[in-house]
Structure 1
């Protein structure tokens, strides 16, 4: 709702599944320990893949709690919070802390439930907005559970089916995944939905991997992919002291791929000496103050020609889009 008030026109739900195969919104299948209060509920903590263990003898506190560890009824007992944890915690309550100073716990002051995909669809539909559901890569072996018929393809189909059941038109939905096979499945099995499918691309992260990531773009386009979504640093570089489109960005446009990028405002303060961290790695020597966020956004919009920007604080992109008449 905060993102909507700040002007976001498309809302994201990262889609994963519960023990009883219900679809819920979580950033990852196994992040409940850092995005909810699960470790502070003893009977649920005990069901986690790795229950909470306090920091001791120089070792950090640990926990790993997955949506697939719990039924939907159990997950509905949880309160969602900012994704963070305290590695030095000696108690479950201490473990729930650790939110970075540049983020906010404002919305964690009351118990906000974990949304199901159906609830997300209903909420966003009532707001009149569009949807970008991300099929999260499972962190448990598929099919789930082993020996069952719940395959990756059934998971991918279930996500589309819930939009169909809600009466949402495919033109309002941008299904996305990091798995190329998911995109290929939608293109073949659900072409009306697949034509707006977004291939999230992080294949250039490993040292020396960028040339192959660039080469893959033609392959994706020939297979029918229309939208590619790489992280911010893939799309820009520095030339003659200015931020300019990268080889990746140029190759994507040559392949006639539309581009969405991620994630603006995910970093901490630009001027704290970090240069913005991961999301600014390709232009770090030109980013040293908060206004440089807009310098980057300007190049992405005007020179790279992105059609959208994932953002953790959508007011920044909204302000820019209004100033330059992009709505």
Structure 2
């Protein structure tokens, strides 16, 4: 990290006891940099690193049970499903080896399987090998800045009920994200399992577990889900979080900023864009400053959460952090710059929480600055 007041302040906290903080949110558990995501192990790692809120990305199975998966159709990269012939055959797109310059392919969704079938799978680091000619080879490909060291035991997929029980026992807060379905709704076609029924099922699961709404930060990328909760579940909707990636495509960022006004008028209280939406390079071409998105959200009274720290590779290579640092890549040149970003997010943007794949970084900063 570059020498300066921030480095000195952070160094002064090196012997402090790190306590859990709600400013540190465990992304997919918070230990995802080294442990398979959405698992008991990732949640426990993130918790030990101070995450005060834990995430479960919620999706549904063929028999409409709710489970924790970051994407409804990521089983082929996050579990060993393609290596189990009987289950691979049930995938939306079963494993097909690389051949004739075409990459290996597979698409396996939670909705392809019953809960009982999913419980036979083992979680793995999210990766695949596009050059694979066998299922075993397809399961490799973990990036060099991550590791398979702690993925050698069979960690089962968690149900939403199991996640709730675990996080409740740990005394932490919850942030379940209702994943956008990758299959047509209602599911199956003609049934009564509509998007609204799915959104309600997630809330009902927390009610059945007797979890108070103030401990739960429900999330979705679908604006219609927020509108449904605001009307049907106002107590839970007080902390409902609208995840926003509407400015990703070329030319769409101005409209993403403009849409903030509509969200605020509708009663949305929390907005959660990715890191690069909130910061930009200052006029001096050296500093990190709040973006127009950040300043607009604050003027509208929207509280801001952001994602996801420690999801990038090295910050000192040619990528300069990739997507999550693209708005400040020109001033990102060493791994210590993660704290420069956090400092602006905390002190100038005023975010109320940060998702992270390795909770220690956010927790350390939050504890050092009393957040």
Q: Give the TM bin, normalised by the shorter chain.
A: over 0.9
1:166-205 equivalences in 2 (<5 Å): 166-205=209-248
User: Match for 2:367 among 314, 322, 327?
Assistant: 322
Corresponding residue SS for 1:139: coil
Corresponding residue SS for 1:9: strand
Q: Counterpart of 1:161? A: 204
Shift of 1:133: 0.2
Corresponding residue SS for 1:289: coil
Q: Counterpart of 1:232? A: 275
- Determine if contact 1:25/1:117 at 8 Å carries over to the other structure: yes
Supply the distance in 2 between the matched residues of 1:227 and 1:210 (Cα, whole angstroms).
Answer: 19
Structure 1 stretches lacking a partner, 5+ long: none
Corresponding residue SS for 2:316: helix
Corresponding residue SS for 1:10: strand
Supply the distance in 2 between the matched residues of 1:23 and 1:160 (Cα, whole angstroms).
Answer: 11
Q: Counterpart of 1:209? A: 252
Q: Counterpart of 2:188? A: 145
- Determine if contact 1:81/1:107 at 8 Å carries over to the other structure: no
Shift of 1:104: 2.2
User: Match for 1:13 among 56, 62, 84?
Assistant: 56
Corresponding residue SS for 1:86: coil
User: Match for 2:99 among 56, 61, 67?
Assistant: 56
- The higher-RCO structure (CA 8 Å, 6+ apart) is 2
Supply the distance in 1 between the matched residues of 2:88 and 2:118 (Cα, whole angstroms).
Answer: 11
Deviation per residue, 1:247-296 (Å, 9 max, x gap)? 00000000000000000000001012111000000000000100001000
Q: Counterpart of 1:254? A: 299
Supply the distance in 2 between the matched residues of 1:44 and 1:152 (Cα, whole angstroms).
Answer: 27
Corresponding residue SS for 1:161: helix
Shift of 1:7: 0.5
Q: Counterpart of 2:165? A: 122
Q: Number of residue pairs matched?
A: 326
TM-score, structure 2 length as denominator?
Answer: 0.87
Supply the distance in 2 between the matched residues of 1:115 and 1:55 (Cα, whole angstroms).
Answer: 31
Supply the distance in 1 between the matched residues of 2:181 and 2:314 (Cα, whole angstroms).
Answer: 32
Q: Counterpart of 1:23? A: 66
Shift of 1:179: 0.2
TM-score, structure 1 length as denominator?
Answer: 0.99
Supply the distance in 2 between the matched residues of 1:210 and 1:40 (Cα, whole angstroms).
Answer: 41
Deviation per residue, 1:76-122 (Å, 9 max, x gap)? 00001111001111110111110001112233110000000000000
User: Match for 1:279 among 324, 327, 331?
Assistant: 324
Q: Is residue 133 of structure 2 the alignment partner of residue 90 of structure 1?
A: yes
Supply the distance in 2 between the matched residues of 1:96 and 1:79 (Cα, whole angstroms).
Answer: 12
Q: Which stretches of structure 1, 4 residues or longer, exceed 4 Å deviation after superposition? A: none
